[in-house]
Structure formats: C-alpha cells, structure tokens
Amino acid sequence: MKKNKAIFLDRDGIVNIEKDYVYRIDDFVFIDGVFDACLALNQAGYKIIIMTNQAGIGRGYYTETDFFNLTNWMLGEFKKKSIIIEDVYFCPHHAVHGKGKYLTTCECRKPKPGMIIKASVEHKLDLENSFLAGDKLTDIQAGQAAGIGQNFFVRTGKSIPDEHCTLADGVFNTLPDVVNFISR
Ligand SMILES: [Mg+2]
Ligand SMILES: [Zn+2]
C-alpha cells in the first residue's frame, strides 16, 4: 500500500504567534501566510500534522479541555479556508514540573519522537519523504529521531541561535518559503 507524504508543523511559532502558554482563542493569532502555505501543501498532496508540546496542561496552567476547545476552533478556521489538517498531536507531560499523572518522563514530549511515530502509524506516513517545520531545536531533534526526511527551521517563532541552524536541513523565513522549496 502506498504511504502518504506529510508535513509536520510545530504549533506555537509556526502556525500561531509564539506567546507563552497559549490556550485561549483570544491569544491565538495565526501567522501571516500560514493559510496559503497549508492550502498549497494540501493541493500538493501533503497530509498536514500539527504536533505540539503542551506542558502548560501538566503544569496546571490550563486543562486538556481548554486545549481541545482551542484546537477545535483552530481546525474550524482552517476548514473555513478549505484546508484539511489531518491530525493534531499534543504532549501534556513534564518530567519535572508536571502535576499528578502529568509528572512523567514520557516518550511524546519533543525532542522525543513519540508524537511523530504515533502519527506515522495512525496515518500510514512515509516519513522519509516527509518534512517538518519548527522553531526550536527540540522540533528538529524529534523529526530527526523519528526519521523524517528533511527538518527545517522557520524564523516565525522563537529566535534561532546561529549554532542550531547547521543542525537542520534548512532555515527559512516563512512557512510559504518552505512550501516553495519543497514543491520545486
Ligand atoms: Mg514552537
Ligand atoms: Zn508526553
């Protein structure tokens, strides 16, 4: 059976403007160009997967319900533009600051590849021919550990230290720049 190619997007700093612990719709601001980029990715046959560390849940800053409500709203905004986001994966854990059941050294918190591996099984993804876009080294490391073909930094989120840049397969200013590159 033919496997699907995908692009894995970090959420904060790639889809929406990075602010610490975004969980309210009012604080969620889409980054310019994200809709156009995602539409082009859909049209090029890429499944779009969002994967996000959400230790704010484990820390008790907000709940999984808050996260799901925001996610449903976000997916609705994409859908209004006829964009299909295949799935959203999140890690609510933290190995030091997690409370109760969230206090665990899990396999899903990036830089671990757990979310990507789960997605690859559930959506039959061809990781070797897939891409990742993130704004932190832990995104890149998770992609590399999972075996994603090319892992890119995008400068729309956290500032990326120079010494990290060489560790990725490319550094782009915007998500549309990534799309232009991979659809060449
Ligand atoms: Mg980020
Ligand atoms: Zn986790």
The Å distance, Cα 135 to ligand 1 centre, comes to 5
Residue 1 confidence class, pLDDT cut points 50, 70, 90:
low
- Looking up tokens 């590849």, which residue turns up? 113
The reply to whether 1 falls in a domain is: no
Q: What is the pLDDT of residue 79?
A: 98
Cα–Cα distance, 49 to 58 (Å, whole number): 22
Q: What is the pLDDT of residue 184?
A: 79
Q: Which ligand sits nearest to residue 103's alpha carbon?
A: 2
Cα–Cα distance, 145 to 16 (Å, whole number): 25
62 has a pLDDT exceeding 90? yes
2 has a pLDDT exceeding 90? no
Averaged over 54-76, what is the pLDDT?
98
Q: Does the reported pTM lie above 0.95?
A: yes
Identity of residue 97: H
Q: What is the pLDDT of residue 18?
A: 97
The reply to whether 51 falls in a domain is: yes
CATH code for position 16: 3.40.50.1000
What are 20-49's pLDDT values in tens digits?
Answer: 999 999 999 999 999 999 999 999 999 999
The Å distance, Cα 58 to ligand 2 centre, comes to 9
Token pair recorded at residue 113: 């590849």
The number of distinct structural domains making up the chain is 1
Q: Which ligand sits nearest to residue 22's alpha carbon?
A: 1
Token pair recorded at residue 37: 């980029």
The Å distance, Cα 80 to ligand 1 centre, comes to 24
The Å distance, Cα 2 to ligand 1 centre, comes to 31
Catalytic residues: 10, 12
The reply to whether 153 falls in a domain is: yes
